Amino acid sequence: MESPRAAYAARTRIREQASMKLMTALDASRVELIKREFEHRKNRVGQADFISVMLKHLPVHLYSNRDNAADELFELFKEVDVNGDGTMDWEELTRFMVSKAALLKEKSTALDCIPYHHKTQPDASVPASTVHHRHRDSIDGMCLLPRYRQFACIENHSPVIALYNARNTSLVATMKCKAVPLCVCYIEPLQSLIACCSDSTMARFNVGESHHKVRYQQKSFWSTPDAQMAMCWQPTHNLLYSGSVGGRVHAWDVDTHKQISCFEAHTDIVMDVLNLDCLDSIVSASLDTNIIVVDSYTEQQTARLTGHSKGVNSLCYNSDNRFLISSGFDHDVFVWSPFVSTLLYKLKGHRAALVGCETVEGSPELITADASGLFKLWDLRKFECVQTFTSEHEPGDLDDLTGTLSCFKHMKLPCFDGGGDADDYRPCFDGGGDADDYRVIAASKKLLYFDQERMRANPVSDEGPIRVALFNSQSLTVFTASERTVKIWDAILGSVKHSFKNVTASDISAACLDDRKRKFILGESTGTVSVFNYQNGAVMKEFSPQGSSPVVDLAYSAASKSVLVAYMNGLVRVFDENDIESCKVLRSFDETYSHRGDLYCAVYEQASSVVATGGNLPSDGVRLWDYDSGKCELVLKSGDECEVVALAFLGDYPLVAVCCSDCKIRLFLTHQSADLKGTCVVEWTNELPPGTLITEALDEAVHPMGWGQPGDEDEDSAESRRRERALGSVRHVQARERSSSSMASFEQDTDGSSAEAKHSSPEFTAARKPNKSPVSSVVWDQVGESLFTGSEGGHLRKWGLARTLAFIDAGKLETVEVNGRRRVRCGQRDSSGDREGLSPKRASAAALGRPSSLGEAASLVEFRWGLERAHDADVTVIELTQEPRALLTASTDKRVLMFSLDGKSLGCLLQTAKYGCQSPQWSLRIDVAQRQAKEARALSAVLNKDEKGGDEGVARREKDEREASHRQHSDGRAKRKGRNAKASRAGKEGGRAGTSQTASEKIHNRVIDVLAKVKTATVRVPTPSGDSGSQTISTQSITLVGDPKLREKNRRLPPHLKANDPIASPPIELTGLGPGFKHQGGKISLPRI
């Protein structure tokens, strides 16, 4: 029975495929009707409108019920509306459908080909006498025994059949016929090997699980009308089909040795016979250049395939695409359909006669070989050659296949369950069992083996170091970036959903998601920044170039729809991401205060609108910037001769955590009075404190005397159990040290511990070294008031700061409105912070920052637990996820891991996990029922709004048309009465006043929108002169119209423009022309609404 998590993941995949369902279900007439619906709504369709329009025109049979259709369309609208404006136009919809179709086509035709290579080194466990067994003459044919991982070979002019182990290439046995065998065939149900000999006989040998006295011995033989050149087994009828030198195809009962049927098929020697069990047909190929398809029930010919110019010697079938492939003495490979007599495609590339063709089971791969010794690997979906390979040899040596290759076979070998290097290599992981290996066995006078470059079975997430890992709570996916590859993982199943390779021209150095989690933004090592679609990986737009310095960090501001980009050379830019075509610079941080050395890290706190940056020069320290103005507000001295490697704001507290290369973690005040702002109030070392206990495997550390921590009850109970376990271990150690040589005294010291516990080693022991290391990544947990750190040694540690924050008494940040502007200030600490178990002592303001206060505050930092071997290399990412509450970590050891907040491992993302299958190494628990209920409520709200409010788009347009008509009527009446200019303006103002406030807001927003795209403007305003009634025009100073405080925070017009009539103001001369302006006779005017 399918679990709820698996069912939710499957439902999510179906919703994501809704666009393909639409494209396949909509014909030209339906598309035209939908387009008319868009045009009727002025090409602006809301969410409810979109669902109703699509449900109206989609075929009824497409969905099982209306609710499922509305659910998929609801998700589709959110996927198409990438910019999040809540509306959709026709061009946006069609552009999305085309890009989605192109992406799915690319994914369907993309073949991750694992190349084959020549295995030149024999297995060390196999005796040399069996490995170097050489045939005196060329090997003419081979037959596979898949169940036993063996294959049989027949040699030209030799009556011996040699049986080899396909895994280690050793010789298993030899079987001798009375004449030279011409072909061999293995029958799995009978555990028999059939050989057709040159004396027109068939011989049956016992193989497989036969008794050892009769194994590999001839069981029976019988005569045939002609010498048989090819055979195949038909399991449905339990018949053996063979093709003779006379061109006839025979059917044999192997047990009775009787010929069941015979039909004339060809006029020349039959070279190959193939059973198509799925089609109940037998296919034969002959030197007469024809291919015959015969129904196995009626024995009637159903198709004759002609097209070869020379004889055909090999056949194979691809069941996925239903392709019949043939090869012969001409140099091309022919692709047919067994249902029609027409050639589908010719695969060209070989320059010699072909010796055979083999399809790969469960794959669109085809392998062909020619007499010159060249092999080609083809993709049947694109009919393209993806690899050409041959043996590694010197001219004329034994491995030279030039002119000597006679036959080959492709074999799938189940995963080796013994020792040796076979355990180290696996081509793939199917999500529930062992993997398979693939091998090409080539024959001349010697057997040669070609293996795939199998993937190491290490639990890794990507081929390169993981630089970025982000949790997407909207789609329940995990975003990872390594080198030039981006992967989207299913957070429920732990398997890859999308893999976008080579999405950038250089290595990815930073990444972030937008506020709606529908786009991802990548920064490269060459300074390029681009925006991509989260669903299909398509490039949407690029940022204006700012040089070639690597991008260090990216941060997205949801309030202003802007992106913070920090470069290694010290430049920090804010880009406007709201534009559809490109992202231009909104502001640059003050370069006077930029870092003189390399910039290593940058972190943005959206609540307080503060940015912190740190670099490699100790003199630069940590710089705090105002995000809205780009001004440097404070410089923190992080320490002498140490680099800043990681930063984190402490949420509601006016503190920033600074992690340096000297292994120190320091907390600085960011919002306090002038004398305390920038003061370091806590400082401690990232090492195991004295008294820490650690397991013998050095993977888990805990301080058994740790204080209780406010937070989740599950986390507290788990940490308590860990401490109790550690205390039990240390009591066991103490008892063992105090014990005498007698067992009785040992039992007394351990208070009656069991005999099994007496001889078992303790779980925890005292840490011998503190494992001191610099912190490479850090994240703050506001709920549990804890700091999680990841270090360069792969350590993951949790530090409790509740008692420390109570001692500092820094208060919490709060947002207030001052003169219409948002201000962040530090308030008083809530009295609820004095919880049971926390020290009521507070440090005085004058004592903060002093050595005595630093030491006392550091002593209150609680080491909760540590995973000393969480990763094998530097931890590059720590992210705290809120739903569910867990830790997502990534490292240069190529792994992405998930941990609970109490340090329990929740799994590793494995790149070998099969798509759509539950990874056995992933156990993240997500409340899918709660998410489904939330999604159902959101969909219900949209549908109810549509039912109650009717067509919201039509109602909104009718309201706008009534307002516009009323304004025109008022303006026309004022002109007809012939009033003067002043009265006319008054009449216009009165007309606008009579309308709703919406019209004034539209004018206001229009001017703001126009001015927001202008860098600078020179304003001329009239000033009264000495003469009464006269005015003079004076030019004021240049105003920075693009100031974000003017655009985003205040949302007010400049003082020289009036909100009631901005167009009536004096002209504005612009030095930087935005797209909202246009020239009219040498003047610049605002466009009409």
How does pLDDT run across 493-518, given as a tens digit for each residue?
888 888 888 899 999 999 999 988 88
The Cα 94–Cα 77 span in angstroms is 12
The pLDDT value recorded for residue 660 is 92
Q: What average pLDDT score do residues 1042-1068 get?
A: 41
> Which of 181-195, 572-586, 744-758 shows the lowest per-residue confidence on average (mean pLDDT)?
744-758
pLDDT one-digit tens code per residue, 347-367: 999 999 999 999 988 888 999
The Cα 568–Cα 1084 span in angstroms is 41
The alpha-helical segments, DSSP class H, found in 58-116 are 66-80, 90-109
> Which of 198-207, 661-670, 798-807, 840-849 shows the lowest per-residue confidence on average (mean pLDDT)?
840-849
More confident position, 233 or 320: 233
> Which of 112-116, 753-757, 872-876 shows the lowest per-residue confidence on average (mean pLDDT)?
753-757
pLDDT one-digit tens code per residue, 984-1003: 444 444 444 444 455 656 66
Q: What would the two tokens of residue 1054 be?
A: 């400049």
Residue 104, pLDDT > 50, answer yes
Cα 564 from chain centre = 23
More confident position, 113 or 1054: 113
The pLDDT value recorded for residue 713 is 42
- CB 559, CB 589: distance < 8 Å: no
Q: What is the mean pLDDT of the chain?
A: 77
Q: Determine what percent of the chain is predicted with pLDDT higher than 70.
A: 67
The pLDDT value recorded for residue 1020 is 46
pLDDT one-digit tens code per residue, 366-396: 999 999 999 999 988 888 898 899 988 777 6
Which range among 90-94, 625-629, 739-743, 1000-1004 has the greatest average pLDDT?
625-629
Residue 172, pLDDT > 70, answer yes
Banded pLDDT at 32 (limits 50, 70, 90): confident
Residues with Cβ < 8 Å from 842, sequence gap 6 or more? Answer: 806, 807, 809
Residues with Cβ < 8 Å from 839, sequence gap 6 or more? Answer: 803, 806, 807, 860
Q: What average pLDDT score do residues 426-437 get?
A: 44
Banded pLDDT at 423 (limits 50, 70, 90): very low
Q: What would the two tokens of residue 979 be?
A: 């009033």
pLDDT one-digit tens code per residue, 809-820: 777 777 666 665
Q: What average pLDDT score do residues 538-566 get?
A: 91
The pLDDT value recorded for residue 878 is 95
The Cα 302–Cα 283 span in angstroms is 10
Residue 1040, pLDDT > 50, answer no
Nearest to 450 by CA among 408, 498, 407, 494: 408
Q: What average pLDDT score do residues 317-340 get?
A: 91
- CB 890, CB 469: distance < 8 Å: yes
Nearest to 31 by CA among 59, 63, 72, 73: 59
The single residue listed with the structure tokens 């296949």 is 401
- CB 346, CB 333: distance < 8 Å: yes
Residue 1057, pLDDT > 50, answer no
Banded pLDDT at 666 (limits 50, 70, 90): very high
Question: What is the DSSP secondary structure assignment for residue 708, as one 8-state letter?
Answer: P
Banded pLDDT at 949 (limits 50, 70, 90): very low
Distances (CA, A) of 84 to 47, 89, 539, 935: 11, 13, 17, 17
Q: Determine what percent of the chain is predicted with pLDDT higher than 90.
A: 34
For helices 997-1012 and 952-976, give the axis angle rounded to 10 degrees. 90
More confident position, 105 or 59: 59
Quick one: CA dihedral 394, 395, 397, 398, positive or negative?
A: positive
pLDDT one-digit tens code per residue, 222-272: 999 999 999 999 999 999 999 999 999 999 999 999 999 998 989 999 999
The Cα 18–Cα 77 span in angstroms is 10
The pLDDT value recorded for residue 94 is 76
For the chain, what is the radius of gyration of the CA atoms?
38
Quick one: CA dihedral 211, 214, 220, 226, positive or negative?
A: positive
More confident position, 1054 or 537: 537
The pLDDT value recorded for residue 63 is 64
Neighbours of 1034 (CB within 10 A): 10
The Cα 683–Cα 855 span in angstroms is 8
Q: What average pLDDT score do residues 473-497 get?
A: 91
Distances (CA, A) of 37 to 186, 879, 902, 952, 953: 65, 45, 55, 14, 11
- CB 813, CB 827: distance < 8 Å: yes
Banded pLDDT at 789 (limits 50, 70, 90): very high
Residue 458, pLDDT > 70, answer no
The pLDDT value recorded for residue 989 is 45
Nearest to 788 by CA among 866, 855, 707: 866
Question: What is the DSSP secondary structure assignment for residue 208, as one 8-state letter?
Answer: S
Q: What average pLDDT score do residues 265-290 get?
A: 93
The single residue listed with the structure tokens 């637990």 is 865
The Cα 75–Cα 15 span in angstroms is 7
**DSSP letters spanning 866-929:** EETTS-SS-EEEEEEEETTEEEEEEETTS-EEEE-TTS-EEEE--TTSPTTS--TTB-----HH
The pLDDT value recorded for residue 410 is 92
The Cα 163–Cα 441 span in angstroms is 13
Residue 735 burial (C-beta neighbours within 10 Å; 0-12, 13-18, 19+): buried
Q: What average pLDDT score do residues 274-294 get?
A: 93
Identity of residue 187: I
Residue 33, pLDDT > 80, answer yes
Cis upstream peptide for 884 (omega within 30°): yes
Which range among 201-210, 266-275, 1002-1011 has the greatest average pLDDT?
266-275
Region of 407 on the Ramachandran plot (φ > 0 left; ψ -120 to 50 alpha; else beta): beta
The pLDDT value recorded for residue 751 is 43
Q: What average pLDDT score do residues 590-604 get?
A: 92
SS (H, E, C) 22-60: HHHHCCHHHHHHHHHHHHHCCCCECHHHHHHHHHHHCCH
The pLDDT value recorded for residue 766 is 74
The pLDDT value recorded for residue 557 is 92
**DSSP letters spanning 527-575:** S-EEEEETTT--EEEEBPP--SSPEEEEEEETTTTEEEEEETTS-EEEE
Residues with Cβ < 8 Å from 930, sequence gap 6 or more? Answer: none
Q: What average pLDDT score do residues 528-553 get?
A: 90
Residue 936, pLDDT > 60, answer yes
- Counted residue by residue, the chain has a size of 1089
Which range among 567-571, 762-766, 957-961 has the greatest average pLDDT?
567-571
- Long-range CB pairs of 983-988 (<8 Å, 24+ gap) are 985/1061, 985/1064, 988/1061
Q: What would the two tokens of residue 915 be?
A: 């798509």
Identity of residue 352: A
The pLDDT value recorded for residue 707 is 44
The pLDDT value recorded for residue 969 is 52
Residue 487, pLDDT > 70, answer yes
